[in-house]
Amino acid sequence: MTEGPLNAPPNRDDPIPEGLKLGARFTGYLLVIIAGITVAIFVALQIAQIVVPFLAGLVLSALLVPMSTFLQRHRWPKWLAVVTVWVVVLGLLAGLVLLITFQIRSEIPEIQKQVATTLDEAKQLLATQPFGITEAKLNDLVDSSGKWLQDNAAGLGSGAAEVGTTAAHVIEGVIIILFVTLFALIDGRGIWTWVVNIWPKKAHARIFAAGEAGWKTLTNFIRIQLVVAASDAIGIGVGALILGVPLAVPIAMVVFLGAFVPFVGAIVGGAVAVGLALLFNGWVHGLIMLAIVVVVQQLESHVLQPWLTGPTVKIHPLAVILGVTAGAAVAGIAGAFFSVPVIATLNAMIHAAKDYRVGQR
């Protein structure tokens, strides 16, 4: 019986070991994957004005579509379910903006007074040793700053023009978010079917399975983060309100938004709350605020997150930290915000595609 090609003995005349050949093939495949990812990231950065709003709309859709589906399962007409979801969400956002605006306007006089007092105390501290920065030196610094502003007026003018361009891009982004969310609510499955049909027919079932797994993971992730963010915001916001820290509602909003960026967002949101408490209420209230932030974060990390997440979102904490760091390095705040949901969704899709079996439903 002759040996087949798979069972053939190794060629002893070949100077290259089989292990080295296997390693070379593996390295080649890995380099191709890295190159593909690099090209995809490069293209995404070039059209970030479209990609970022699209991802934001997708994340918002992951929150709104289940709400609309829930209403339709209870025999609501589709158009009424979509309109109701939009009205509720936009109403909540408008109410929150009005509440934040009202608190800021009502507390501006007290904030201005406290800032003036803090600046006077800072001047007195800087005038003492070892700083030795007298009021005359501060005046010289102010004069030199004014001269610098005059010398760089042209550059500042171009910066103002860039701000105007950025505002236009923000408006464009909001429009894209609204359209993405609206079409996802109206015909999300139809859009996904159209995307799947672009690929070869033999791959349709596997891609559908991967898409369903990714969408399920994304919706679960967003709901979990929403509950966690709301819990953090309520805990820290109520603590700031009890301590009499100004801008308690804006502090809660910063904490809420920061909670969507795991680890980093919690630190930033907590630092804002502690800093305002320290600045306006003194070091005692600053320490109490710090204790409140630590307690809330510990409850979130050791009680709320494990209880809510369970087996639904399987991402190792190291992957989360590295993903947030890499996203922030590549795309700034937007990269840090979207890195974890993108990693979670892709992880679920890859596993679903790998584990798919023909005939599976």
pLDDT by 10s per residue, the chain, length 361: 444 454 555 556 667 788 888 888 999 999 999 999 889 888 988 888 888 899 989 989 988 999 899 999 988 998 899 899 988 888 888 888 888 888 777 777 777 776 777 666 666 655 665 555 555 665 666 556 555 555 655 554 555 445 456 667 778 888 898 899 989 988 888 899 998 999 888 888 899 999 999 999 899 888 888 888 888 888 888 888 888 888 888 888 888 888 777 666 777 778 888 888 887 778 888 899 889 888 888 887 777 766 666 555 667 777 777 887 888 888 887 888 888 888 888 888 888 888 887 666 5
User: Which stretches within the chain are classed as H helix?
Assistant: 18-46, 48-73, 78-127, 135-151, 153-196, 204-243, 248-258, 264-281, 283-299, 305-309, 317-355
Task: Give the model's pLDDT for residue 35.
Answer: 94
Task: Give the model's pLDDT for residue 309.
Answer: 62
The contacts of residue 149 (CB under 8 Å, 6+ apart) are: 156
Residue 263: strand, helix, or coil: coil
* pTM exceeding the 0.75 threshold for the entire prediction: no
Distance CA 267, CA 258 (A): 8
CA 17 to chain centre: 47
Q: Give the angle 156-159-163 at the CA atoms, nearest 5°.
A: 140
Tokens 């100077």 correspond to 15
DSSP 8-state code for residue 3: P
- Judge whether 340 and 262 are in contact, CB under 8 Å: yes
